[in-house]
Structure 1
């Protein structure tokens, strides 16, 4: 974190400063900010946030023992460390992050891009980081740090040398994105897609649209909203933002687009067209044609902030995977390909993954889909799992292995379709699925492992990747 005095931090987080030992309110703190006591180093700030399972205050002694210079707590603790007592530790984290970004930004060179959407956020964030790093110092989240804790933790990594900050914004509830937008104040806001991911939390698509729209409604006229013109729910956000609009997509009147798409087992080739009229061929190694839309979104934002076409193309061509456990290509032994895409799953991403599996199959060899639950769909879960089962039949997937009770309707729907005879198998556990694939896979087969994170199939994908590596 940039250096701030204890007095400044106390004021920013609206807390009561309790000095310990020889500490003074003018003392500067510039260590890392942590919510995990195991990551605390000498000089760190430890924020004792309450959690769903435990309470960060229980780990404050460990943070103090590791050399924390400051504890931000919701109650004063009997520890020989300077503390700031606040009403809400998570709100204090956000306020501190917002103040740090504002101070760095006041120097005039920091530009901020925020990205949201039902699918593709992490891939787009990674592409943006790769593009911006070719121009200047860039801060972007590791993994999917996109909530009320993860996003501020990323924000706190900026320094006076940072030129670009990329923030991924997830929406666990209505108002979550709006709060993050107020904290970071992006120069460019990207909205990728509106789909059924998290439908169980929002209730319906209209609520999802309202939540995601917060990305663009609070932008300034000098800011830019980058919108997916191919998604009608995203495209309509152009009417509710004061920002300048940059549209991306494959169809219609758009500013940034792709043409001449050709997908295969090694990725997708296409021609990238930027808003300024420049174009260039791209060999994009990320598997799955659906990831081209993420590439277009990143390219649109990068162009807005001055990244050259050459650097944009170089970044795309250097990206070999979307992210760990996202369309990650493993295996290779006996020409068996394992696609591990089991970090997240929504109806849209499940459909895209199955279509990619069918599209890249080796002629004369089988396609095997090992599928688990799509979580957080609420009352839509049953019909959406049915729909995926039917899609697998219609795509002529050679073998489907459904794992876990919560995904079982995919198996039932394939049987009810009546066009298959034994091509779908149900098992209770990932171990059973592993043995089934191990004993039945043939040289040249392509295996997709796809589920929500909660189903745990990503580790099954890793095991299969190791088996055929």
Structure 2
């Protein structure tokens, strides 16, 4: 694509000015990409250098697939089209330059919402996308693009006319969120909650709270911090927000909250919520079951209102929200000769920490089973739990402690995966311990043989344990259909 059409996301001149780079050709890009596998024609390909591979080796492939140009730090070997290269000293810094320029060119009325937290930030980001896109042009990252390259990539992709931007910010160590927040410059910062996630990288949980509070460093004075009053670290987070001159908006279940969850009723594949937000009484539906989702939705509504969105329209939009893949997505796997038997699958396979495992177990405990439809007379609630990573010296106690969660009283069998989950397997009552497995493939092989129509299976574990292998194996047992979609008749 050549020239500088009005539909261009970046012209060659704009990209060069934003990055301080050198460009010889005249082109215009309609998107920004760092991966040739998902690259769309007309994209600006950014050749990032990672630990495992260097994007410069894929520049030729990107241009063959229709990329408008490539952002590089040196010409690729044997490359003969310099007019399609934007040369910079460092491609990650170049991407950050694009991000800063994209943020700066937004209209004055545009609002950026930054989201972080130990649990629920991706789901909340998707809730905000649903709420805000129903009202105005809204941009949010795909997947969990929340790190040192994901946030600048999201900003660099921001449309010029975006009215709302939702930026998810994650971290494993202290000092990682502050530069992301300074780049995004949100007017509203939402922290879902603070728990022991990544505690192995910190001296204590207070350190996790302080790392999350880094999000306030990029918010201008007079901005808004939306905080979970039910969390034990609320006062610490609120103090940090006030030190940056921010207004505090609290959400939770207590009477003193600015945004209060009054009730949440799980009804099949949905949750019916009563809430009071900003003085307005609301009754709305979320397109997924879970009390924790209801609380997150209330926080998201408070953030949307703080960003200037219409609250009632935002609440109505949540009926179309669905739990993302790996974070609560539900499937009905039709099995048997005629496909009339159903295994319900709750996919929580993307990540795990003690708080998120507890929330997932509560959803499993509330899920209805079907009796008398398979080989087993009674439908069963089954959990398959993989290791929770980055828990440090507390990891054995935290894994074993899951056995004491009240929701486990409604769970029939628990299968465990990974060395750390040995502690939970040992702590479970013998009748409830379905089995321990060294890896997810071994667990998948066992579950494929023992699952039956009428069962409900919940799968959860940290990303590195690859619990998605269990999800894929179960879905392959029959015809998997989105549980939130109407059943065919």
Match in the other structure for 1:460: 470
Match in the other structure for 2:274: 271
Match in the other structure for 2:287: 285
Residue 135 of structure 1 deviates from its aligned partner by 0.7
Conserved 8 A contact 1:249-1:293: yes
The TM-score with structure 1 as length reference comes to 0.88
Match in the other structure for 2:426: 412
Structure with the larger helix share: 1
Instruction: Mark the CA change 1:459 to 1:206 in structure 2 (over 3 Å): closer, same or farther.
Output: same
Residue 138 of structure 1 deviates from its aligned partner by 1.0
Q: Structure 2 matches for 1:288-367, cutoff 5 A?
A: 288-319=290-321, 321-331=322-332, 333=334, 334-362=341-369, 365-367=379-381
Structure 1 Cα separation of the partners of residues 62 and 444 of structure 2: 41
Q: Relative to structure 2, which stretch is displaced further, 152-161 or 421-430?
A: 421-430
Structure 2 Cα separation of the partners of residues 340 and 441 of structure 1: 15
CA distances 1:373-393 after superposition (whole Å, capped 9, x unpaired): 112223332222111244389
Instruction: Mark the CA change 1:206 to 1:86 in structure 2 (over 3 Å): closer, same or farther.
Output: farther
Q: Structure 2 matches for 1:83-102, cutoff 5 A?
A: 83-102=85-104
Match in the other structure for 2:435: 425
Q: Tell me the SS of whatever aligns to 2:52.
A: coil
Q: Tell me the SS of whatever aligns to 2:291.
A: coil
Show structure 2 runs of 5+ residues with no match: 1-6, 335-340, 371-377, 480-489
Structure 2 Cα separation of the partners of residues 50 and 442 of structure 1: 47
Q: Structure 2 matches for 1:65-464, cutoff 5 A?
A: 65-77=64-76, 79=79, 80-82=81-83, 83-103=85-105, 105=106, 107-241=107-241, 242-275=245-278, 277-319=279-321, 321-331=322-332, 333=334, 334-362=341-369, 365-391=379-405, 395-414=409-428, 419-421=429-431, 423-464=433-474
How large is the Cα RMSD of the aligned pairs? 2.6
Q: Relative to structure 2, which stretch is displaced further, 332-341 or 153-162?
A: 332-341
Structure 1 Cα separation of the partners of residues 360 and 271 of structure 2: 14
Q: Tell me the SS of whatever aligns to 1:300.
A: helix
Q: Tell me the SS of whatever aligns to 1:298.
A: helix
Residue 134 of structure 1 deviates from its aligned partner by 1.1
Conserved 8 A contact 1:264-1:359: no
Structure 2 Cα separation of the partners of residues 284 and 46 of structure 1: 37
Conserved 8 A contact 1:400-1:423: yes
Conserved 8 A contact 1:95-1:183: no
How many residue pairs are counted as aligned between the two chains?
454
Structure 1 Cα separation of the partners of residues 306 and 331 of structure 2: 35
The TM-score with structure 2 as length reference comes to 0.85
Structure 2 Cα separation of the partners of residues 97 and 61 of structure 1: 24
